[in-house]
Chain A
Amino acid sequence: MKMIAKKPESLTGAKYHYCPGCSHGIIHRLVAEAMDELNIREQTIGICPVGCSVLAYDYFNCDMLEAAHGRAPAIATAIKRLLPDRYLFTYQGDGDLASIGMGEIVHASLRGEKITTIFVNNTLYGMTGGQMAPTTLLGQVTTTSPYGRKVEWEGYPAKMCELLSCNEGAAYICRTAVNSPANIIKTKKAIKKAFQIQGQGLGFTLVEVLSTCPTNWGLSPADSLKWMEEHMIPYYPLGEFKVKGE
């Protein structure tokens, strides 16, 4: 029998603790496949966030370090500067990256740190039970915006790719989604490209992946994908925002 797919080397194979229909599992796999295909697993160090993917060190088959909530870019910066020939990635949710960690990510990109950030945007704080995040869409119901996010009260959702692509230090900024096979393939391509640009030492790289949280959205996995297409993608347009040199 011909093997057509197997578990990536860069995953340990430990069973995920994620909810059914959660995108974290797919995104883990894409990061791992990118590492395998670039053959960089043994030179890669990952930084875990605080959020639902806090246990990512159980899943990625490379050295991992646990950061405090929002501090992954600072941690990755230090390791990269000490070990410049390694690949560093941070794996961060939208709460971790765009709320408590907003300062860290902006400064890492301003400094042009040669790291790759995988930014998982599911529009809310999943782990703590679905509270409003800076990325929560207008009108979206969360446990802290029970009748929907209102501009007068909570302002506008954060568009991180748009924001970060203004920074000179940013070398690659791209937004993708994992709502369809085609987009999943594009997401892996973007992650690979980010690692490659990191390898070339061109600057800070980030791939924002629009993802689902069926549990806190209160939707089935299938309806979650539909919700992402109908609500998230129109507000958070997909595509490359910055490619240094291109």
Chain B
Amino acid sequence: MSDRLSGNEAVAYAMKQINPDVMGAFPITPSTEIPEYFAAYVANGEVNTEYVAVESEHSSMSVCIAAQAAGARAVCATSSCGLALMYELLYVAASCRLPITLACVNRALSGPININHDYSDSMGARDSGWIQIYAENNQEAYDNFIMAMPIGETPAVRLPVMTCMDGFITSHAVENIELLETETVRTFVGTYDPENYLLKKENPLAVGPYDISAYYMEHKVQEAEAMKAAKARILEVAAEFEKISGRSYGLFEEYQMDDAELALVLMGSTAGTAKAAVDKLREQGVKAGLVKIRVFRPFPCEELAQVLAGPKAVAVMDKSEGFSANGGPLFAETRSALYDLKDRPYVINIVYGLGGRDAKVEDIEKVFKRLADIVATGETGPVYTHMGQRSKEDMV
């Protein structure tokens, strides 16, 4: 079924097709349209979801936690400060092993206050125990949301899933999209049947109890194991999804990587721009390639290392600052993934696009040019730089 939808409407539509039991709703730009579309589905009787409009994101995530603990399926959408206000509850959801699905429409986190896209919101939540899957475009945002429940709800995983898309760029731009039939989606997603939930009379239960040092660590190790198990499950679900959609997904997407000498690692909608740059450079005979990270949590460490063993130089492009004084979060993960390689490529980090600053094809070409220079001279130069900002000389 072909249609034309914005990223927000595509995700709201996926939610409608799934028909979850509960939605915790609170508006924040640019994710607001998701609860708005959904409110109309509820009011029109198109879904039988309990729509709980609360007074803040701290409460909307609390609603989801309670619903999921009672054995229901809960969904939510938020951005930026909204996700930040959920922070305490994100950890609770993950540690209680409640597979809530959250549509995160990425937006820069205050301050300064800004409504445009970067990943500072979800990157701040990267260690909360949530699976994180990022979309390049509307189609992927829709597909990822449909795959989220089968991933998160599987007993070996039982973790909440955050599906992320780029604020405005993906959430508000209208694109052609292929939608699945609602019946197909419902069969694919199936029912949520946790073995334990509140108010099951055969098995009285306390959810989220105090966990002292004698047990806390085992609890956390189980969570860590669940996150490891998620990797295989994500691939399994992707394989099943391909059967119903014809669209294939991995932990990341490789673009022209087979013989690439110069490669980028990045996420989200910039991949579209970067693919255009790769195509242009390939025409000029430059062996450029791209790895688009789809799954950031769990991080595809070994798989990425294998792919990056080929190129001579790699630029990791972070669309969020980590303030580690040592590069952004994607860079830290990627460089660490490369440590076990015998022959490591040169690796640099380019932080770009903060607060929605545009990255154009020419900007990406500049990054490739920098990589080519590094290969030619054997000099890496500054490893961690910021692209496209006016306060310092552009080091890209």
Contacts and interface: CB of A to CB of B under 8 A. Distances in A.
Interface of A: 50, 54, 66, 68-70, 99-100, 102, 125, 127-129, 131-132, 134, 143-147, 153-154
B81 interface: yes
Interface string B103-146: 00000001101000000000000000000000000000000000
A102 B85 CA distance: 15
Contacts of A66: 111, 113
Given A128-B29, A129-B32, A145 B113 contact: no
A100 B55 CA distance: 5
Contacts of B55: 99-100, 102, 134
**Central interface residue in A66, A128, A132, by most chain B CB within 10 Å:** A128
Contacts of A153: 51
Contacts of B25: 144
Contact of A145 (B27, B39, B110): B39
B53 interface: yes
A102 to B, nearest CB: 6
Contact of B56 (A100, A128, A129, A147): A100
Contacts of B232: none
A147 B53 contact: no
B27 A54 contact: no
B253 interface: no
Given A143-B36, A144-B53, A128 B113 contact: no
A218 to B, nearest CB: 15
Contact of B40 (A54, A68, A69, A146): A146
B28 interface: yes
9 contacts: A50-B113, A54-B113, A68-B81, A69-B81, A99-B56, A100-B26, A128-B27, A144-B53, A147-B43
Given A100-B85, A131-B36, 18 more contacts: A66-B111, A66-B113, A68-B110, A70-B56, A99-B55, A100-B56, A102-B55, A127-B29, A129-B32, A129-B33, A129-B36, A131-B35, A144-B53, A145-B43, A146-B39, A146-B40, A147-B43, A154-B53
A132 B27 CA distance: 9
Contacts of A100: 26, 55-56, 85
B25 to A, nearest CB: 7
A144 to B, nearest CB: 4
Given A50-B113, A66-B113, A125-B27, A132 B53 contact: yes
Contacts of B27: 125, 128-129, 131, 144
Contacts of A128: 27-29, 32
A68 B29 CA distance: 14
A24 to B, nearest CB: 18
Contacts of A146: 39-40, 43-44
Given A125-B27, A144-B25, A131 B56 contact: no
Q: What 9 A-B pairs are tightest by C-beta distance, nearest first?
A: A100-B56, A144-B39, A128-B27, A99-B55, A131-B27, A143-B36, A146-B43, A128-B32, A147-B43
Nearest to A48: B113
Contacts of A134: 55
B24 to A, nearest CB: 12
Nearest to A149: B53
B56 A144 contact: no
A131 B32 contact: yes
